[in-house]
Amino acid sequence: MSETISATRKSRRRARGGDGNPRSGAPGQNPHLEVPFITRGIPTYDLLNADSLERIEKTADRILAEIGIEFRDDSETVRLFREAGGQVTELDKDRWNIRFEPGMIREILATAPARFTQHARNPAKSVEIGGDAVVFAPSYGSPFVMDLDKGRRYGTIEDFRNFVKLAQSSPWLHHSGGTICEPTDIAVNKRHLDMVYAHIRYSDRAFLGSITAPERAEDSIEMCRILFGADFVDRNCVVMGNFNTTSPLVLDGVTTQGIRAYAAAGQGSIHLPFLLGGAVSPLTMAGSVAQCLAESMTSCALTQLVRPGAPAVLAAFLSTMSLRSGSPTFGTPEPALGSLVMGQLARRLNMPLRCAGNFSTSKLPDAQAMQQSMMSMMSAVHCGANYILHSAGFLDGLLSMSYEKFMLDADLCGALHAYIKGVDVTEDTLGFDALAEKGPGEHLFSSAHTLRHYQTAYWDSALDDNQPWETWDERGGIDSATRANARWKASLESYEAPALDPGIDDALRDFMETKKASMADAWY
């Protein structure tokens, strides 16, 4: 038997017979790590040198100056950019190309805050977006949901509420997210009301509002005014909208009108190019990142033209495709590298960044799911992303929200709290006394140092099985997806809604009812 195994066995034997003080309580309790948002204790991982970064920035500038961005169906946005110095070419009645001199967009962005607070209805749960703050939020936008019992089906408002409750119940997420899944049982023109209401009613964390139409953006903000008061909303960021560019190099009118609505109200907005390399951006990652920077900067800049100082978040969703089948691929190595570069570019711009998440193309919460998720999620953590949407639940190339994957991802988010905290180097943590107390060859279970640190030294997972094989086998030999299945049911079972002022609740319901009564159902 090898030295390695002998050591493991010896340690296990010692551990069981040891006189140390084992941690008690249910697994997954790590109160010392619970925070409303994470403050980085580890540095960012800088992939490229300054020269390469400048070349990417110059390419972004060149894209904006020589190719330009196409705007559609929103003459007000065109007016704003023209006044700011953009060179407008009318392509037809509702389409314009605008080119920007190198540096112009960066100048417009100078008023954008480097860091801001998004207020939660529970002030203890407000989050910071930017700088060394890191915020985890659930996945966003899947039409389907899946679990191990019922398989894959279209999402409903019940699923939506379930995921809001699961997120609220996890200490390792900080934000309630937005369209966690599409509630396809509610008309498209009305479901935003139910989604915003569910975030407010079943969570006390910050959340994202609707962006699918300008009036739905306005409704989202109006519901926040009912919740927080109009004055507070005018002076503070309480909601954000997550906007996609129409890559390559297009901003459509629904998007720009929505961006203007959030910015005019002083609310936050996220500006996301969803770049599937080879389809809507260059196949090579340097080119995808340059385009991403050009698109996201331009989209962010619109906020500053509407209301200087409005919170805006640079964003990147980089993905690849299978060049055999044409299917999108997620959790692959190249976008992970691209995310690291985006982190550097965001810091050079001094703007907050949304980037990556727990991406996967797997259809099950299996080995592939977590391998791909980790490839993507570790890049988010290392690149310095501030707002990490898609932190929990992502499967099936974003088409499905998985109940089990949600629990696996949330547990991983907990582990990342320990990781992002970093290594503390002090006389105490250097532990010389622990070794000196016992000397060579003696175990440290009962050392004063061990007793002092055993409750906080290590992340304790709620889901991972760390038992000996025999114990695991006796208990049924269950895989982690099956454990996650039991865990989400238990979490929903024990969920308790945070208190909400009944007067506010009534006002929100009245607002919804009035809005819903004012229009016929529409399914597009």
Question: Would you say 286 or 504 has its CB closer to its own copies?
Answer: 286
Q: According to CB under 8 A, which one of 449, 462, 487, 511 is a site residue for its own copies?
A: 449
Interface residue with its own copies, options 38, 337, 353, 388 (CB under 8 A): 337
Residue 29: CB minimum distance to its own copies, A: 10
Binds its own copies (CB under 8 A): choice among 347, 438, 489, 516: 438
Q: Which of 213, 224, 226 is nearest to 187 (CA)?
A: 213
Task: Answer yes or no whether residue 329 interacts with its own copies by CB under 8 A.
Answer: yes
Q: Which of 315, 369, 380, 512 binds its own copies (CB under 8 A)?
A: 369
**Is 152 near its own copies (CB under 8 A)?**
yes
Question: Quick check: 293 binds its own copies (CB under 8 A)?
Answer: no
The yes or no reply on residue 5 touching its own copies (CB under 8 A) is yes
Stretch that binds its own copies, among 129-137, 225-233, 316-324, 497-505 (CB under 8 A): 316-324
Sign of CA dihedral 81, 82, 87, 89: positive
Dist CA 189 CA 413 (whole Å):
34
Residue 453 binds its own copies, judged by CB under 8 A: yes
Determine which helix (DSSP H) or strand (DSSP E) holds 108, and give its type and residue range: helix 104-108
Site for its own copies in 412-431 (CB under 8 A): 412, 415-416, 418-419, 422-426, 428-431
3-state SS, residue 429: helix
- SS3 state of residue 80: helix
User: Given candidates 138, 253, 352, 365, which one binds its own copies under the rule CB under 8 A?
Assistant: 365
Q: Tell me how far apart the alpha carbons of residues 175 and 205 are, in angstroms, rounded to a whole number.
A: 6
Is residue 435 at the binding interface for its own copies, with CB under 8 A as the rule?
yes
> DSSP states of 314-371 as a string?
EEEEEEEE-TTT--EE-S-HHHHHHHHHHHHHHHHHT--EEE--S----SSSSHHHHH
Region binding its own copies by CB under 8 A among candidate stretches 128-136, 230-238, 346-354, 392-400: 392-400
Interacting residue with its own copies among 366, 486, 498, 505 (CB under 8 A): 366
List the x/- string, 239-278, binding to its own copies by CB under 8 A. ----xx-xxxxx----x----------------x-x-xxx
Give whole-number Cα distances, 260 to 101, 230, 267, 473, in Å: 23, 18, 10, 58
Within residues 455-494, the interface with its own copies by CB under 8 A covers 455, 457-461, 463-469, 472-473, 477, 479-481, 484
According to CB under 8 A, which residues from 158 to 187 bind its own copies? 179, 182
Shortest distance (Å) from residue 514 CB to its own copies: 25
User: With respect to its own copies, which residue has the nearer C-beta, 227 or 318?
Assistant: 318
Measured from the CB atom, is 79 or 475 closer to its own copies? 475
Q: How many CA atoms lie within 13 A of 392 on its CB side?
A: 34
Please tell me whether residue 68 binds its own copies under the rule CB under 8 A: yes
Greatest alpha-carbon span in the chain: 83
- By CB under 8 A, residue 34 contacts its own copies: no
- The region of 130-138, 230-238, 262-270, 318-326 touching its own copies under the rule CB under 8 A is 318-326
Closer to its own copies by CB, 313 or 337: give it: 337
**Pick from 244, 237, 245: nearest CA to 263:** 237
CA 125 to chain centre: 16
Interaction between residue 27 and its own copies (CB under 8 A): yes
Q: Which is nearer to its own copies, 469 or 499 (CB)?
A: 469
Residues in contact with its own copies, total (CB under 8 A)?
A: 167
Could you list the beta-strand ranges (E) of 47-183: 69-72, 87-92, 95-99, 115-118, 127-130, 133-136, 144-147, 151-154
| 348 near its own copies (CB under 8 A) | no
**Which 8-state DSSP code applies to residue 248?**
T
Residues between 89 and 148 that touch its own copies (CB under 8 A) = 97, 140-144
Candidates 119-127, 221-229, 296-304, 400-408; binding stretch for its own copies (CB under 8 A)? 400-408
Quick one: CA torsion of 72, 76, 80, 86, rounded to 10 degrees?
30
Report in angstroms how near the CB of residue 492 gets to its own copies at its nearest. Answer: 20
Q: What separation in angstroms does the CA of 30 have from each of 186, 446, 458?
A: 39, 22, 9
Distances (CA, A) of 19 to 428, 443, 466: 22, 10, 20
CA distance 198 to 163: 10
- Is residue 448 involved in binding its own copies (CB under 8 A)? no
